[in-house]
A and B are shown apart, each in its own frame.
Chain A
Amino acid sequence: MSELIMTTDRERPFDPPDRIAGLGGEAPLHRLTFADGHEGWLVTGYTAARAILADPRFSNRPEYTHPTIPARAEVAEKLRGREFAVPGFFLRMDAPEHTRYRKLLTGQFTVRRMKQLEPRVEEITHARLDAMEAAGKPADLVEQFALPIPSLVICELLGVPYEDRERFQSDSRALLALESGADEVIDAMRSMTGYLYGLIQRKRAEPQDDLISGLVQGGELADDELTGVSFLLLVAGHETTANMLGLGTYALLRNPDQLAAMRDDPSVVDNGVEELLRYLTIIHVGPIRSALEDVEVEGVVVRKGQSVAFSLPVVNRDPARFPGGDSLDLARPAGGHLTFGHGIHQCLGQQLARIEMRIGYPALLRRFPGLRLAVPPEEVPMRTDMSIYGVHRLPVTW
Chain B
Amino acid sequence: MEIKADTTVCIGAGMCALTVPQVFDQSDEDGTVVLLETSPPAELEDGVRRAVTLCPSGALSIAE
Contact = CB atoms under 8 A, between A and B. Distances in A.
Nearest to A347: B13
Contacts of B14: 109-111, 114, 350-351
Contact of B54 (A109, A110, A335, A341): A335
Interface string A339-369: 0111110111011001000000000000000
Interface string B9-46: 00111100111010001111111100000000000000
Chain B's interface size range is 20 to 34
Interface in A109-162: 109-114
A328 interface: no
B4 interface: no
Instruction: Pick from B21, B26, B53, B58 the residue with the most CB of A within 10 Å.
Output: B26
A interface, size bucket = 20 to 34
B31 A110 contact: yes
A111 B21 contact: yes
A335 B11 contact: no
A106 interface: yes
A107 B12 contact: yes
B17 A346 contact: no
A341 B19 CA distance: 17
A110 B11 contact: no
Given A54-B57, A336-B54, A343-B56, A112 B29 contact: no
B56 A110 contact: no
A103 interface: yes
Contacts of A342: 56
Nearest to B31: A106
Contact of A351 (B18, B32, B54): B18
B12 A106 contact: yes
B21 A344 contact: no
A98 to B, nearest CB: 9
Contacts of B26: 106-107, 110-112
Instruction: List the 7 closest pairs (A to B, CB-CB), nearest first.
Output: A106-B31, A106-B12, A346-B56, A110-B26, A111-B17, A111-B14, A107-B31
